[in-house]
Structure 1
Amino acid sequence: MTDLPFGFSNRDDDDARKRGEEPSGADPNNPFGFATGGAGGFDPSQLGQMLTQLGQMLSGMGQPGSAQAGPVNYDVAKRLARQQLGSSVTPVSESTAKAIADAAHLAELWLDGATTLPAGAGRTVAWTPNDWIEETLPTWKRLCDPVAEQISGMWTSQLPEEAREFAAPMVGMLGQMGGLAFGSQLGQALGQLAKEVLTSTDIGLPLGPSSTAALLPAAISEFSAGLEQPESEIMVFLAAREAAHQRLFQHVPWLRQQVLGAVEDYARGIKMDFSALEEAAQGIDPMTLGDPSKLEELLSKGTFEPQTTPEQKQALERLETLLALIEGWVQVVVTEAVGERLPGAGALAETLRRRRATGGPAEQTFATLVGLELRPRKLREAAALWRRLSTDAGMEARDGVWAHPDLLPNSDDLDSPAGFIDSVIGGGTTAFDDPMAQLAATEAREAAERAAREKKDDDGE
């Protein structure tokens, strides 16, 4: 389980009752435990006291010049991430930037013979950790906002009808508290991740700008220190992986949306544990909330358990399968491109596979931010399927599977690939309901029939 801000939990009231516990929010019309008047109505005097306390809590928490336009305070996130990196970040030297450009150029030449997909990166750049934070933050906003937006809506939806008018100011202040807390946690996580990632697609997601390949030389040097291969060879190998990812994401136009959309769908299924929030609220001491870490601690009492709704299960399975297919394809293509040219390519591939499978810092960070494990669980099976397609059906048929999302293998196909491979060999890569394709085929057939009739008439038959 992964602790998240806002007191998230997917524990249902029915499960709590089965365990003999009080359900979260025993009274669905009074989730915050507001006292009611003798006649059973809502007592606004208590809300006034709460608003006064919250006003004291929030005073002085913001930074001059900062703004929070959405549910997460990204100004705080960026500032904390950069502070965590400290002053040790040095600019990339010209010689290092040239070495990365040369490695990328060589990798692209080798990849040309291993895939039908053309080069997808318009440029290859060397990033510092600060560059990575700046360039990937727009994508993190897309991934994190659904989580926070869920909470913003839940606050209002769980309030009793008569309380909503009175609670509007409180909800706004709670949103500011949540934005600060989530921004703080996001900043700490991104600061740690920026030290670890090797490329812009290191965790399998297209985090950077479109058609831009990026390598992080400082992290690559640290990664290379414990390996036997020369750092120059490791850089070429990583450049080939980054370039392969870019080819896939750039020339399979629906893929980026499918991957990021699966993460968004999963995040929107998050449920709120109001009992955890109530418990956290009871421990609030306005005198101690000047410390942002204390606020984050108070708002991190709940737990978040994935795969609790059918929608989340479907989104998670779709995401895991997509990540496995992407990673497996990249592994096969890169091996074909550099395998004989870099003697240590096999060992490097296994090192990176274990790095992902054991839940490294990238996966842990992503689980903290969005609430799910970013792990391609069937990577070996996906790589085996792409490898067999290369051998049995050929490179063009293998890459043609990416032409449409309906053509991709599913989770069952990864377990038993024989039937899927047979369908590709038998022409399955074009057998989907595409009205435009069917129309084009019909027009071509009719044109051929007309040409045959005209030739017959010309021959006088």
Structure 2
Amino acid sequence: MDGMQVIDWDLAVTTGTRLVRPGPQVSREEARQAVAELRQLSREAEGHVREFTRIDTDTAPEPATIVDRPGWIKANIEGFRVVLEPLTERMAARRDQAPAIVSAVGARITGVEVGAVLAFLASRVLGQYELFLPPDPTGQAAVGRLTLVAPNIVHAEQELNVHPRDFRLWVCLHEETHRVQFTGVPWLRDYVRSQMTEFLLASDMDLPVLLDRLRSAADAVADAVRGGEGNLIDAIQTPEQREILDRITAVMTLVEGHGDYVMDAVGPSVVPSVADIRAKFHHRREGGSRLDRTVRKLLGLDLKMKQYAEGSAFVRTVVDRVGMDGFNKVWASPETLPIQDEISHPDRWIGRVIGGPALPTAPTGDAAGSATEAGGTTG
């Protein structure tokens, strides 16, 4: 990349890895066993998920990648780079607007911020399906990668005092659902990516506007620290971005809710202590220190909790009414994805997608082409 770097990525990595807390104290042998078991359980979980969701994936299951906290930070920064490249290029093209000093200082500040946010998340994330990997020059690698953060899983099971093998399999069920979604629904990844790119490109890049946005973001930070309702995502949006964000939110609510639904539905047959795990885990999701709660609100992670709940309620309602195969019509094309309003009113989705005459399916090549109009309220 050229000198006009919007984010200092190397600084983000060093900041993140410096700030992240070390994981739980376990012996080398315990760590080795945890890693081996997580690898094996992720394969097992994939079989359960495929069978239950009835989503066909042509791809052979890849073993999960097991990482520590610094490894998770590095992987996410790679992913950010992939998503943010178009924005970086666009800013570079308007180089004349920003004095060099602003971009140099700005890159450092944002690098530190990105690193700090990832350090906060890196000690909490249990697993993740990484959609945005740097392109593989050979074209051989899988499109996404399932990552499990071993120290966090071990830490959570110790803290919650739950059955370790059951807990590990339960986490794998959620994450494997994402792998099955994105490998079994070939257009989904490009759809999400194109929406994110559009979202970034819809931001006004004029320097005065940008500074104004950053000021309102700073106000949102101050507001959240005082316990207000501000969140960063709302602070920096054009009306056009809000519309795109509605679409992104709806699709993410669907995939997260589907993950939660599958984890809970498959759970009882393969995870004997699932009821105990679920009760303790949901309590933990909502808990945390005041700082935790503030940061969660700022990053919109509280919205994410709401998304899990709304999304899994949508999936459960639809599956109850029209069965798994009826629900799976959701994956037919971008047009059959629910909009925000339909997630809170599953009947409307059923009426639109299942009730009427058969829908013509969009050719998969045009995945990103036409997204449904954004609807309803944004969380």
C-alpha contact (below 8 Å) 2:14/2:115 kept by paired residues: yes
Separation in structure 2 between the aligned mates of residue 304 and residue 422 of structure 1, nearest angstrom: 32
Query: What is residue 121 of structure 2 aligned with on the other side?
Result: 193
Tell me which structure has the larger Cα radius of gyration.
Answer: 1
Separation in structure 2 between the aligned mates of residue 100 and residue 186 of structure 1, nearest angstrom: 28
CA deviations over 1:120-152 (Å, ceiling 9, x no partner): 641212111122122222211134456666766
Query: What is residue 109 of structure 2 aligned with on the other side?
Result: 181
C-alpha contact (below 8 Å) 1:76/1:184 kept by paired residues: yes
Q: CA deviation at 1:94?
A: 3.4
CA deviations over 1:359-414 (Å, ceiling 9, x no partner): 9969948966xx99863645434322322332332222222320211012222222
Separation in structure 2 between the aligned mates of residue 344 and residue 404 of structure 1, nearest angstrom: 37
Q: Which has the higher helix share?
A: 2
Query: What is residue 71 of structure 1 aligned with on the other side?
Result: 6
Pairwise CA RMSD of aligned residues? Answer: 4.0
Query: What is residue 318 of structure 1 aligned with on the other side?
Result: 247
**Correspondence 1:222 to 2:155:** yes
Q: How do 1:324-363 residues align onto structure 2 when only pairs under 5 Å count?
A: 324-346=253-275, 348-349=277-278
Separation in structure 2 between the aligned mates of residue 98 and residue 225 of structure 1, nearest angstrom: 18
C-alpha contact (below 8 Å) 1:122/1:211 kept by paired residues: no
Q: How do 1:91-240 residues align onto structure 2 when only pairs under 5 Å count?
A: 93-118=31-56, 121-145=61-85, 156-157=96-97, 171-201=99-129, 206=131, 210-240=143-173
Distance 1:207 1:345, change over 3 A: farther
Out of 418, 421, 430, the residue aligned to residue 347 of structure 2 is 418
C-alpha contact (below 8 Å) 2:258/2:311 kept by paired residues: yes
Q: Secondary structure at the match of 1:185?
A: helix
Q: Which amino acid aligns with 1:123?
A: P
Distance 1:213 1:305, change over 3 A: closer
Query: What is residue 26 of structure 1 aligned with on the other side?
Result: none
Q: Tell me how many residue pairs correspond in the alignment.
A: 330
C-alpha contact (below 8 Å) 1:389/1:398 kept by paired residues: yes
Q: Secondary structure at the match of 1:213?
A: strand
Q: Secondary structure at the match of 2:269?
A: coil
Separation in structure 2 between the aligned mates of residue 136 and residue 276 of structure 1, nearest angstrom: 25
Q: CA deviation at 1:237?
A: 0.4
Q: Secondary structure at the match of 2:106?
A: helix
Q: Which amino acid aligns with 1:127?
A: V
Q: Secondary structure at the match of 2:162?
A: coil
Taking structure 1 as the reference length, what is the TM-score of the superposition? 0.60
Separation in structure 2 between the aligned mates of residue 146 and residue 133 of structure 1, nearest angstrom: 21
Taking structure 2 as the reference length, what is the TM-score of the superposition? 0.72
CA deviations over 1:26-78 (Å, ceiling 9, x no partner): xxxxxxxxxxxxxxxxxxxxxxxxxxxxxxxxxxxxxxxx9857322112111
Query: What is residue 9 of structure 1 aligned with on the other side?
Result: none
Distance 1:306 1:240, change over 3 A: same
Distance 1:423 1:191, change over 3 A: closer
Choose 342-351 or 235-244, whichever is displaced more: 342-351
Long gaps (5+) in structure 2: 134-141, 215-231, 365-379
Q: CA deviation at 1:190?
A: 2.0
Q: CA deviation at 1:335?
A: 2.2
Distance 1:68 1:219, change over 3 A: farther
Distance 1:362 1:143, change over 3 A: farther
**Correspondence 1:266 to 2:199:** yes
